[in-house]
Structure 1
């Protein structure tokens, strides 16, 4: 009998009603669930820096206030040890937790609803083998009236349609696999879809501001999206944190480290195929800011002194260490929030098995004024063939004030 078919006592304890007991589960289902946890980036929200795996405690800043990711280890007192598999499935696919508790969509049930029952069952099997950790977490720290969970019933009625993923019979199996990961387990829309006033996805993956960063356009748009990227470059970016001269940073760094770098090459290729096929918006590239513009002239001088040593005078960067600025779609996003954040706060790339040396950029907040940051970013966004709206000093000042 193949080892993957052997049903054995799992060497982990599940806490139910305060009593530890061993549970028999098939190894192949547990391993499938471990992979589902990577696809869903469960560690990204439920494992605090320096904390025990899945014990919760990560603060999630939303436009409505702070939520803290709960403990999802099988601890009976503070985790999900007293949950049933039906409770778990209902939470993922309907946004309703144990005892009828309404969940907030920071837990992306709006995407997880598309997961297959077999994938949810595998994920449940895996979490039953995780080490139980006693860690009490107060998840809801929203101000009134957003702290009233019953309001989510109305939010769901307006914004949420439960239902499984439906493959497109006109597309290839690879395309549909990519669509399933992006739309369901990978929940890419949570970061990359524009949001309504109620915080719901408005559709499309054209980018939005999230926790002081701008999650970029990842549609097939040639100027701001991944339309000019090859599938191999997308795979490299998701696997190593470096692709087409771009280096993953901010929240995407965490996604790469905890999730995409752990995916199979086949799944990464499927994601790339799907993203490149997403319809590009009809938004045309803007006219570059003229080279004789005062901001461009000042920005050129600031760049030569502060940036050219790493990114080179022609914006070509230095491989996997310092990103390429010329032709970089992230640099040319309509919203400069990410660039301002990086200049003010600095940044560090992802650490992955395929690329263990992580590049970093220091903060320039101490060195450059709001006007100087705006000028150098305007220059970078409109030089070497780039084209993007100029950056306003007020936008820099606002982010500086907010601590980014």
Structure 2
């Protein structure tokens, strides 16, 4: 039992949801704000396409490598303080990335990727603890904020760069939003010490590896995230090479990310109609496939509908993938461990996608072959969705063993 001075007193539901939205707004501009600037950076000749490919893959890889650190930090510091550290690292990484040098660009990207990996892993368990009965819906609200943040990064990256006459200052400006979230989190959310009864245990985390359901959730997260980060990293570059201007390519990406907010909040509601989430997952993956064809292979007249369909599909798929972490977990402890596994392993796998597409662009491989790669990833994600979307969950039985129940 914690001393009275260290007892956790949760904020009101409204304040907590406000914090989830504010934090969510910060976890995607770090990724989406760079993509519209890549053609400009490439044209300056400072960085090669290969170097930029590694730069787009690095944050996604960091999401995967640092996500498993979140349960360890929770055991040592508590979930609130761990999230505070994540926000500090995110703010510092965004500021460093805005200094125009290769070293600081990579160091800042490394820091922000690691911070997002930690923060994104902690939030599903925190939501499960604070708002258990509405965890899936609140996850949708949080995902909606992620999408809005991504849209802001894509839409305003070029205008800010034009206003400040510097792509590096454009990147630096997003640290202000992260600092705002840090101050609000520290001001509103109590910062108690670690709670042993909540903190995940290593033995429980390892037990997940023996359950196919945990692997299915992880592979679904990884494959759908790979598509998302290919869009974040390379969609504007692909569109510019097809003849669109930097500005229009940025707006196409921005609209695609903006409409993700609609499906991100709607998908969990739609998923409740059925006993499992497979119908909802199939719908959003069909949207992604049709959107990719219209945007990348269709006539220019279909570019805006294609962008919208792609966004609706990707917003829904990401929201449902996060929701599955909550729905497939019997309690907050399991949710924390499953979140670390799904996002840690999933994002590590997802990093391969942007790197492959970057190498294909560097080798001047045509848009048709790149689109086929995207559809191969989409097909695998659909297969994982059919497995992970079934109504099951992981729970501890009376003997303390982790089991899968229907």
Normalised-by-shorter TM-score class: under 0.3
Using structure 2 for the length normalisation, give the TM-score: 0.27
Query: Highest Rg: 1 or 2?
Result: 1
Higher strand content, 1 or 2: 1
TM-score, normalised on structure 1? 0.27
- Pick 1 or 2: higher relative contact order, CA cutoff 8 A, min separation 6: 2
